[in-house]
Chains A and B, each alone.
Chain A
Amino acid sequence: MAKRIDVLHLNVYYGAFLAVEGVNLAIEPKAVTAFIGPSGCGKSTVLRTLNRMHEVTPGARIEGKVLLDSQDIYAPEVDPVNVRSTIGMVFQKPNPFPTMSIYGNVVAGIRLKRRTRKSELDDVVEASLRGANLWEEVKDRLDRPGSVLSGGQQQRLCIARAIAIEPQVLLMDEPCSALDPISTLAIEELIYELKQQYTIVIVTHNMQQAARVSDTTAFFNIAGTGKPGRLIEMDETKTIFSQPAEKATEDYISGRFG
């Protein structure tokens, strides 16, 4: 069910600009992997290469390999659309479709692609919204537009939408950065539950959050502006936060950065 991801010798370019260099990392199934590091070090960039979302950006390209259970997702015969149906994504800013209802948002990934029976969709909606801890709050107004929800609810709606297509891996780019502590807590609990089924990768600027939710933590850093970002070290979260191997990691975590 849940799959692992291995990244080998990954370089990412935006046009001629080398944004990330030489990243090797292993993402374990049914676990939460956190990416931390200073702004601009390439966390989002690496995350987006994991489901080929960077290809939406004109001029972005990669070198190296990304293996999903040992299958190269960049192999020529691989369709990015299939990659993304296996590896879902939640963005920093909640982005429900404004022209669709709450119900429509949840089933968007299914209904946009094929005709499905209403009863089947109803089941998916309830299961996904329950999965995202949002069902109780919205079950009476599924036909209202997604934009009537609060920011935290919208973010959970986006998570529901992402899990509705039953991916095996869920990528989250700072999913809580626009949310209040209570919504953040709700989403952290949700991540904890989702971990039973999915492989999760989360980018966060919040050290406590990384420490709370993740099993493994990867620290990225950048040598200076214009230089490429690199993976400094990756280890069990406990180890990273108690006795990191690298001085840079320790400095960053303890706030003695730069």
Chain B
Amino acid sequence: MATLTPTGSQVHDLLAQRRLPWWNTAAVAAISVAIAGLFALTTPISGTAGTAVTALLTFMVVQTAVSTAVEGRRYAVDRLATTLLVGALVAALIPLVSILLTVLLRGLHALDPSFLTSTMRNVSPRKPGGGIVHALIGTIEQVAIAAAIGIPLGILAAIYLVEFGNRSRLARTVSFFVDVMTGIPSIVAGLFVYTALVLTVGLERSGFVGGVALSILMIPVVVRSTEEMLRLVPRDLREASYALSVPKYLTVLRVVLPAASTGIITGSMLAVARVTGETAPLLLTTFLTQSINANPFSGPQASLPTFVWDQIGSGTTASVDRAWAGALTLIVLVMILNIGARGIARLSRVK
């Protein structure tokens, strides 16, 4: 080894690179914050957001200058790009974290065991107490109905598009309308189902009608995610199956779908999670109620999002507290669904 090591000066000339010391970033950050503070005191640019922006800009300028002088252009650009990326990440996380924190802090206030087990029946909006069990039951039933309709339809449509459509006119039309459906506002889906099932067919407003409205919002999400997963299955596998003289429908059922199942399950569960928080279509289709209605096929049914909407609408301290607690329950429910999706996906992959 020793014979291979060149002399120190050679290393310096050929390969070594002068780098800034590790504490440089912290130092530059401190300087930037100080300068931004000075700015805040002496100029109209003040307030938290303004100061943060000034600090960030100062940081980028100072760091780029120092780095260019010491390390050269490539490292300076690298540091600048890193700063921008981390900055974007933090900017994207701020609203998310702040929402979660707010809901957590305000929601925990009214959340106690009785909140999860009682209804709002005979509870005055002004008084604390009451609970969400009726809404929880409603949401679970409505989402289950939506999933029972939306997931099979979506998966079947995607199978048609990828495996059998071959860019035929019908396939292109279906694909176009799936795109259109992705874009419809949720209240329009609610209005459509209300018009179709309640006004035209004559069903009464119920959890089922709400579930249908939610399923309309789910379908495009399921179709698109399933389509993507099916297209990811390599041609090799299909060919291997055909070469074993397996007919096409069995190839799709036994080879392609299992290979894509992880992604399809995840996509479907994300679609479920997405519609769990929908409010507008449910207001039109399930209406509101303060007590348990476990039958989704008859009469108004509560749900978590409409519960939150209703409680906020009452506007008293007690009802707003309940709204926050309801929102927290909703977020936890969606999280459980997401984690469940990952768990199922992992289980099916191990096999």
Contacts and interface: CB of A to CB of B under 8 A. Distances in A.
Contacts of A95: 234, 236-237, 239-240
Contacts of B259: 97-99
A161 interface: yes
B247 interface: yes
A112 B244 CA distance: 9
Nearest to B259: A99
Interface residues of B, number: 23
Interface stretch (B76-84, B250-258, B281-289): B250-258
Interface string B243-282: 1111100110011001101000000000000000000000
Contact of A165 (B245, B247, B250, B255): B245
Contacts of B240: 91, 95-97, 158, 161
A112 B254 contact: yes
A112 B243 contact: no
A109 B242 contact: no
A92 B255 CA distance: 20
B161 to A, nearest CB: 15
B195 interface: no
Contacts of B242: 53, 56, 84
Nearest to B244: A109
Contacts of A112: 241, 244, 246, 250-251, 254-255
Contacts of A98: 237, 259
B74 interface: no
Contact of B236 (A83, A91, A161, A165): A91
Contact of A89 (B166, B235, B243, B251): B243
A93 B246 CA distance: 19
Nearest to B238: A56
B351 interface: yes
A81 B247 contact: yes
Contact of A93 (B236, B241, B251): B236
Contacts, number: 71
B332 to A, nearest CB: 33
Interface in A38-73: 51, 53, 56, 58
A112 B251 CA distance: 8
A165 to B, nearest CB: 6
A161 B246 CA distance: 12
A257 B184 CA distance: 62
In this complex, the member of B236, B239, B240, B244 whose beta carbon has the largest number of chain A beta carbons within 10 angstroms is B244
Contacts of B250: 112-113
Interface string A79-118: 0011111001101010111110000000011001100000
A96 B240 CA distance: 8
B60 to A, nearest CB: 46
A253 interface: no
Interface string A225-241: 00000000000000000
Nearest to B246: A112
A162 interface: yes
Given A91-B236, A99-B351, A108 B243 contact: no
Interface string B160-175: 0000001000000000
Nearest to B247: A81
Contacts of A91: 236, 239-240, 243
Contact of A81 (B235, B237, B245): B245
Contacts of A82: 245
A53 B239 CA distance: 8
Contact of B244 (A93, A99, A161): A161
Contacts of A84: 242-245
Given A97-B255, A112-B254, A88 B243 contact: yes
A84 B239 CA distance: 11
A165 B240 CA distance: 13
A88 to B, nearest CB: 6
Nearest to B258: A99
Contacts of B237: 95, 97-98
Contacts of A51: 243
B244 A108 contact: yes
Nearest to A101: B351
A182 B351 CA distance: 32
Contacts of A162: 243-244
Contacts of B261: 99
Contacts of A108: 241, 244, 246, 255
B239 A56 contact: yes
Nearest to A99: B258
B239 A88 contact: no
B11 to A, nearest CB: 40
Interface string A123-159: 0000000000000000000000000000000000010
In this complex, the member of A58, A97, A161 whose beta carbon has the largest number of chain B beta carbons within 10 angstroms is A97
B12 to A, nearest CB: 45
A28 B241 CA distance: 26
Contacts of B234: 95
A74 to B, nearest CB: 16
Interface of B: 166, 234-247, 250-251, 254-255, 258-259, 261, 351
Given A112-B254, A113-B246, 4 more contacts: A81-B245, A109-B246, A112-B241, A112-B250
The 4 closest A-B pairs by CB, nearest first: A109-B244, A85-B245, A84-B245, A89-B243
22 contacts: A53-B239, A53-B243, A56-B238, A56-B242, A81-B245, A81-B246, A81-B247, A84-B243, A95-B234, A95-B240, A97-B255, A98-B259, A99-B255, A108-B244, A108-B246, A109-B245, A109-B246, A112-B241, A113-B245, A113-B247, A161-B244, A162-B243
